[in-house]
């Protein structure tokens, strides 16, 4: 039995962060200022707090200015919108990211819709999703762009390949399918109402699993030789020893016997999210400074 390759997203992300750091040095030499990223955290969700802390550390390590805003979960929507408006107007800020999820009393769409699209390094604003959907230059959501980078590194030209995206979220599933379409893939979006999802997934040369359900995609669903990108991060508790661990949306151990290559969880797509965020911030800084897009990013 042959075993597929495990794609090292952690190593790829590290290389990308190195390239961003080089680009930041060149940007500072040209403009005399650092690119700035403002990250807003509302509440104290433990996972979100860790992601925000890591974003801050990696922003600084790449030579950029990091601005963190930690707000209580009880904050009103108006107050949060006021902060976003202030950041829109702040010349030092090239990128604004509001960590998701937000507490239930705050309307995520309103908050995202208030961010200046030119500073929307998450690529979630409808202006950016519209630009992406119509094939124009856009700020592209970090996780899907990271997935495309890994896929192109593994497969080269994606043209003509059959891609199935499992999951239809605004953050991953929908932009992912747009990016695959832009790479000339034949794209299907499968979701909770899809009939016979196993046979839909079995058609795919590329499977992107982004449903948020632990190990939902089974090994036997995968076409032999397919490349699988697992976006899921699900915390599960082992019944035997009571210890918790993170698993993806794909049953990786089973899938390894079928795939050409697969991203692991952890260490696959996750690390790409922050590396691409830094890349997007540098791209936004160039655009705001009237400079051409940095090369090789
Ligand atoms: N405004 C945003 N909110 C959220 C985003 C986003 O892109 N923008 N994505 C996720 C969380 N996220 C970054 O914000 C993120 C998730 C996972 C990782 C990561 O490196 N994961 C590791 C495992 C980490 C662990 O042990 O928990 C991995 O997969 O190897 C980084 C960033 C939701 N919110």
The CATH number for 230's domain is: 3.40.50.720
Contact between 166 and 249 under an 8 Å Cβ cutoff? The reply is yes
Contact between 118 and 135 under an 8 Å Cβ cutoff? The reply is no
Q: Is the CB of 142 under 6 A from ligand 1?
A: yes
Single out the residue of 100, 25, 8, 99 nearest to residue 61, CA to CA: 25
Do 87 and 156 fall into the same domain? Answer: no
Strand order in the sheet with 5-6: 5-6, 261-262, 227-230, 206-209, 162-166, 186-190
Assess whether 119 carries a catalytic annotation: no
Assess whether 122 carries a catalytic annotation: yes
Task: Find the CATH number of the domain harbouring 39.
Answer: 3.40.50.10860
Q: Is the CB of 143 under 6 A from ligand 1?
A: yes
Do 150 and 265 fall into the same domain? Answer: yes
* Within a domain: 41: yes
* Within a domain: 51: yes
Q: 162 C-alpha to center of ligand 1: Å? A: 27
Dihedral pair phi/psi, residue 195, rounded to 5°: -85, 140
Answer with the one of 119, 152, 181 that is the final residue of a domain.
119
Q: How far is CA 247 from CA 169, 211, 231, in A?
A: 19, 12, 10
Active-site residue among 19, 34, 55, 174? 55
Q: What is the CA radius of gyration of the chain?
A: 19
* pLDDT tens readout for residues 118-169: 999 999 999 999 999 999 999 999 999 999 999 999 999 999 999 999 999 9
Residue-range definition of the domain harbouring residue 82:
31-119
Q: Which residues of the chain fall below pLDDT 70? A: none
Q: How far is CA 16 from CA 4, 11, 12, 278, in A?
A: 24, 9, 6, 9
Is the ipTM of this structure higher than 0.90?
yes
Q: Is the CB of 23 under 6 A from ligand 1?
A: no
292 alpha-carbon distance from chain centroid: 24
Assess whether 178 carries a catalytic annotation: no
* pLDDT of amino acid 124: 98
Number of domains in the chain: 2
Q: Is the CB of 271 under 6 A from ligand 1?
A: yes
Q: 30 C-alpha to center of ligand 1: Å? A: 32
* pLDDT of amino acid 71: 98
């Amino acid at each position: 039995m042959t075993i597929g390759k495990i794609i090292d997203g952690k190593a790829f992300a590290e290389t990308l962060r190195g390239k961003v750091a080089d680009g930041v040095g060149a940007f500072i030499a040209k403009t005399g200022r650092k690119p700035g990223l403002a990250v807003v955290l509302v509440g104290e969700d433990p996972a979100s707090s860790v992601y925000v802390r890591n974003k801050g550390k990696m922003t600084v390590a790449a030579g950029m200015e990091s601005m963190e805003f930690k707000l209580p979960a009880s904050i009103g929507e108006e107050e949060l919108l006021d902060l976003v408006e202030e950041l829109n107007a702040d010349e030092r800020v090239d990128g604004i990211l509001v960590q998701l999820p937000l507490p239930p009393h705050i309307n995520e769409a309103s908050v995202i819709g208030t961010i200046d699209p030119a500073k929307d390094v998450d690529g979630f604003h409808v202006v950016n999703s519209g630009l992406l959907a119509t094939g124009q230059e856009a700020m592209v959501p970090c996780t899907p762009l990271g997935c495309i980078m890994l896929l192109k590194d593994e497969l080269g030209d994606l043209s003509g390949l059959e891609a199935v995206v499992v999951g239809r979220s605004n953050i991953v599933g929908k932009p992912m399918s747009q990016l695959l379409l832009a790479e000339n893939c034949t794209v299907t979006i499968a979701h909770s109402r899809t009939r016979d999802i196993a046979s839909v997934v079995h058609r795919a040369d590329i499977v992107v699993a982004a449903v948020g359900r632990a190990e939902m995609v089974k090994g036997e669903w995968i076409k032999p030789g397919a490349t699988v990108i697992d976006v899921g991060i699900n915390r599960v508790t082992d019944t035997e020893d009571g210890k918790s661990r993170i698993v993806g949306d794909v049953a990786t151990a089973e899938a390894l016997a079928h795939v050409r290559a697969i991203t692991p969880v952890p260490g696959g797509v996750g690390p790409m999210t922050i590396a691409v965020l830094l890349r997007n911030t540098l791209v936004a800084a160039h655009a705001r400074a009237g400079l051409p897009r940095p090369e090789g990013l």
